[in-house]
Amino acid sequence: MRLLHTMLRVGDLQRSIDFYTRILGMKVLRQSENTEYKYTLAFVGYGDESENSVLELTYNWGVDKYDQGSAYGHIALEVDNAAAACDRIREAGGKVSREAGPVKGGTTVIAFVEDPDGYKVELIEKHA
């Protein structure tokens, strides 16, 4: 078994695609529309789906906002330097919600950013 994808419902597909591609550096791997059930899917990621886990961005036509509830946590990405990644994301128009620093009770350096729908993305600094 392997993890294939994580699905996020988004309120504006192009805005989300812009965030995940332009700001976080992913690529659009494929996109499809279902006119009968009125939704559009875009799969984004850092590599081919045959070898990498990806994000499925789901836009249900006419729905521009979702209640995330209290169960959702975050997506985690490994970065070389969390502080530098925060600077790049902020300069590109992204929202940094927690600056780079050690995780509470540990030494791993993390930071958090938010996508346009408020989903949290954790940046975990690669260990040397």
Q: Which domains does the chain have, with CATH numbers?
A: 5-60 (3.10.180.10), 75-125 (3.10.180.10)
pTM, whole model, 2 decimals? 0.93
Residue corresponding to tokens 């499925």: 56
pLDDT tens-place string over residues 32-74:
999 999 999 999 999 999 999 999 999 999 999 999 888 899 9
Q: What confidence score (pLDDT) does residue 128 get? A: 73
| Close Cβ partners of 95 (under 8 Å, ≥ 6 residues apart) | 113, 114
Q: Is-catalytic flag, 122? A: yes
| Close Cβ partners of 6 (under 8 Å, ≥ 6 residues apart) | 53, 54, 55, 56, 75
Residue 36 marked as a ligand binder: no
**127: pLDDT confidence band, cut at 50, 70 and 90?**
confident
Q: Report CA Rg, the chain.
A: 15
Residue 51 marked as a ligand binder: no
Residue 122 marked as a ligand binder: yes
Alpha-carbon separation of residue 87 from 23, 50, 94, 100, 110 (angstroms): 11, 32, 9, 10, 14
| Close Cβ partners of 124 (under 8 Å, ≥ 6 residues apart) | 76, 77, 78, 79, 82, 108, 109, 110
The one-letter amino acid code at 11 reads G
Nearest to 18 by CA among 120, 94, 105, 103: 94
- In this prediction, residues 66-93 reach a mean pLDDT of 95
Which of 78, 99, 114, 122 is catalytic? The answer is 122
pLDDT tens-place string over residues 104-118:
999 999 999 999 999
